[in-house]
A and B are shown apart, each in its own frame.
Chain A
Amino acid sequence: ETGVTQTPRHLVMGMTNKKSLKCEQHLGHNAMYWYKQSAKKPLELMFVYNFKEQTENNSVPSRFSPECPNSSHLFLHLHTLQPEDSALYLCASSQASGQGYGYTFGSGTRLTVV
C-alpha cells in the first residue's frame, strides 16, 4: 500500500454506461492528479487539483468529469466512453502543487470499454 487507494481495480463498461473511479489518500497531501496510462505511451496528465481547486485540465474530452470534494478524495466520472479510452487510470497525490514534490501513485483502475 502506498497510501493512495483506488477503486475499483478493474472496470468493464459499455459505451452507454456511466461509472465513477474513486481515489483516496491519507498522506496529508494537498494536490491530487489523474493520469491515463496506455500501452507504449508516456503517462498522460488529465487533471490536477490543488487544495480542492482544479488547476489543470489537459484538453481532456468532456466525457471525463473530475470531482474533488476535499483534499483527500478525487473522483473521475465517466460517461459515453469510447473503446480507445480503455487504459489504466492512475491517481497520484503530492504535498503541494509546488517545486520539488514527487508523486505518490495508487495502483490504478484498469478500464475496459466494450
Chain B
Amino acid sequence: GESVGLHLPTLSVQEGDNSIINCAYSNSASDYFIWYKQESGKGPQFIIDIRSNMDKRQGQRVTVLLNKTVKHLSLQIAATQPGDSAVYFCADRSPANTGNQFYFGTGTSLTVIP
C-alpha cells in the first residue's frame, strides 16, 4: 500500500539557521506533492507544492526539492523563525488515486530555539 513517511519525528534548530525536513514516498506514480504546516490547535495549512515534472520549487523562505529517482522530498526553510515551530507534513497524490486523495506522512515536529 501507499506509505509516505518522514525521516525524523522531531527537529530542533536555532533561530536564524536553515531547516531541512525530509520525506520519503513509496508510490512511483505519484505526480503531485504538497507540504503542510500544522500549528498547535489548528488544521494543516498549505505551504508549497511541486509537480513531478519539476525537481525544485521556491517560495518565500521555503524551497521544496523532489528527487523522483529515490522517491524523496524535502522542505528547506531559510532563516528559521520561532513562528516556524510546528508539525510539518508531506503529502503525495497519484493519478490512480480515487478522486483527489492525498496520502500524508506522520509529520515532523520542528522546534525553533530562540
Task: Say yes or no: A102 contacts B34, CB within 8 Å.
Answer: yes
B42 within 8 A of A: yes
Given A2-B43, A107-B43: A43 touches B99 (CB 8 Å cut-off) = no
Count of A interface residues, CB-CB < 8 Å: 29
What A residues does B4 contact at CB under 8 A? 42
What B residues does A105 contact at CB under 8 A? 36, 43-45
What A residues does B31 contact at CB under 8 A? 99
What B residues does A43 contact at CB under 8 A? 44, 89, 104
Against B, the Cβ 8 Å flags (1 = close, 0 = not) of A25-63 are 000000100000000111101001010000110000000
A112 within 8 A of B: no
Q: From B33, which residue of chain A is reached at the shortest CB distance?
A: A102
Which among A42, A96, A106, A107 is the interface contact of B100 at CB below 8 angstroms? A96
Which among B9, B43, B45, B100 is the interface contact of A108 at CB below 8 angstroms? B43
What A residues does B104 contact at CB under 8 A? 42-43
Task: Say yes or no: B98 contacts A48, CB within 8 Å.
Answer: yes
What B residues does A106 contact at CB under 8 A? 43
What B residues does A48 contact at CB under 8 A? 98-101
Q: Residues of B at under 8 Å CB distance from A? A: 4, 9, 31-32, 34, 36, 41-46, 49, 51, 89, 93, 95, 98-107
Q: Residues of A at under 8 Å CB distance from B? A: 2, 4, 6, 31, 40-43, 45, 48, 50, 55-56, 90, 92, 94, 96-108
The 6 lowest CB-CB distance pairs between A and B, nearest first, are A105-B43, A97-B99, A43-B104, A97-B100, A42-B104, A107-B43
